[in-house]
Amino acid sequence: MIELTEEQQIIRDSVTRYLDENYSFDRRQQQIGSADGFDPDQWQTFAELGWLGMSFPEECGGAGGSWVDAAIIAEQLGRTLVRSPYLSSVIGAGTVLLSVAEPQKTKYLTGIAEGQTLMACAFDEKALASKLASGDPTHAAKISDGFALTGVKSLVPYAKLADHFIVSALLDDQLRLFLVPAQMEEVEVTPYKMYDGSRAGDLALLGVALDRDSLLPGDAAPVIRAVADNESALLCAEAAGIMWSVQEQTLEYLKTREQFGQKLGEFQALQHRLVDMYVQCELAQSLAWDAVDAVAHETDPSSRSRRVSAAKSYIGEVGRTVGKESVQLHGGIGMTDEVPIGHYLKRLTTIDHLHGSSAEHRKRFRALDDFAPQSLE
């Protein structure tokens, strides 16, 4: 497990203090209920506090930190159930941009760090009959002065708000990445609300004409794999923060709620269930930070992916278990929208399905075993 430096402990404490003072559950519900599920003023404050550029190089407007610093922020965002494009724009798009050359690297990373640019990776695909008749992969065709992209992407985080998309497409049978401006006429977004209240959308690319500079260098496959691992590790950190918040709220509720003339927390059977929750939170946090350590320091992609899958497979499943236990221990009130606990369960359920479910990550873990063929991307 990672041991935080004094500076990182200060980062964690400052993030915790700010969110406790400025991000109440009522404010969160107002944001989720808004048209875009997003508060641009809050996002700009995150930028001014240095959160968005924490893991970016100083020459790109960042603080020169690592993914460990980003995970500290993600964990605290989880504790207060903040919904924002942090994962998609800062971690996902940031991972891609850190691998590209100048001037694109500095231009876009600086924009993200300053809160002026929102970007989203569009890698997942799904056929939409209303736009395209076939389910063929998104492909890029060479034209006189660049490329034309055609295809459909699904589950693009905060697609309606993005300024640019990083889109995967086949070019001459090789998977490549393209920078696509969101405001182009041939780019159509169908937004929707996710189970946990966050936003996503389907992205239709109807022959989008791009110049040659839009093509990012190199093979897309290892970059997409790195994005999936980095986002999964940060999701694990977020889930660990959520689980601890759920455990603490449930403990406090059982200390104050009375039934049959005594506090619920005095019933031994309920104490045992709380202890089980505590143990699961400790294990989840240890695995989450091992995954973060892997994406921050592991040089072998297969070893990195294996450690991430070990964490994601456990946390995805146990997170839902802790969330369900908390709802049950709260009783009927735990199912109401007015009480935060049910919203934490929704987020934990969503996390389990992002970038692969627990079952899918167990399968990848076995495939990436030291004694198994290194075949999965």
Q: How do residues 101-116 score in pLDDT, each as one tens digit?
A: 888 899 999 999 999 9
User: What are the phi and psi torsion angles at 101 (to 5°)?
Assistant: -90, 170
- Say yes or no to pLDDT of 321 above 50: yes
The arrangement of secondary structure in 221-367, i.e. its CATH architecture, is Up-down Bundle (1.20)
* d(C-alpha 197, C-alpha 344), whole Å: 11
Domain ranges of the chain: 6-117, 121-217, 221-367
Cβ 29 vs Cβ 90: under 8 Å: no
Q: Which long-range contacts (CB under 8 A, 24 or more apart) does 39-44 make?
A: 42/84, 43/84, 43/85, 43/115, 44/115
Closest CA to 233 of 162, 328, 179, 306: 306
Cβ 182 vs Cβ 162: under 8 Å: yes
Give Cβ neighbours of residue 297 (< 8 Å, ≥ 6 apart): none
Please report the pLDDT score of residue 246 as a whole number: 97
- Pick left, alpha or beta for residue 142 (phi over 0 → left; psi -120 to 50 → alpha; otherwise beta): beta
- Say yes or no to pLDDT of 172 above 80: yes
* d(C-alpha 263, C-alpha 255), whole Å: 6
Mean pLDDT of 321-336: 92
Percentage above 70 pLDDT, the chain = 94
- Determine the CATH number of domain 6-117: 1.10.540.10
Pairing of strands 258-259, 139-143: unpaired
- Say yes or no to pLDDT of 127 above 50: no
Cβ 166 vs Cβ 121: under 8 Å: yes
Sign of CA dihedral 127, 131, 133, 136: negative
Please report the pLDDT score of residue 344 as a whole number: 97
The arrangement of secondary structure in 121-217, i.e. its CATH architecture, is Beta Barrel (2.40)
Verdict on whether the full-model pTM lies above 0.85: yes
- pLDDT band of 323, cuts 50, 70, 90: very high
Q: In 257-300, where does DSSP find H-type helix?
A: 268-297
Mean pLDDT of 27-52: 94
Please report the pLDDT score of residue 115 as a whole number: 96
Please report the pLDDT score of residue 1 as a whole number: 64
Q: Enter the tokens of residue 21.
A: 């003072």
Please report the pLDDT score of residue 375 as a whole number: 41
User: DSSP 3-state assignment of 47?
Assistant: helix
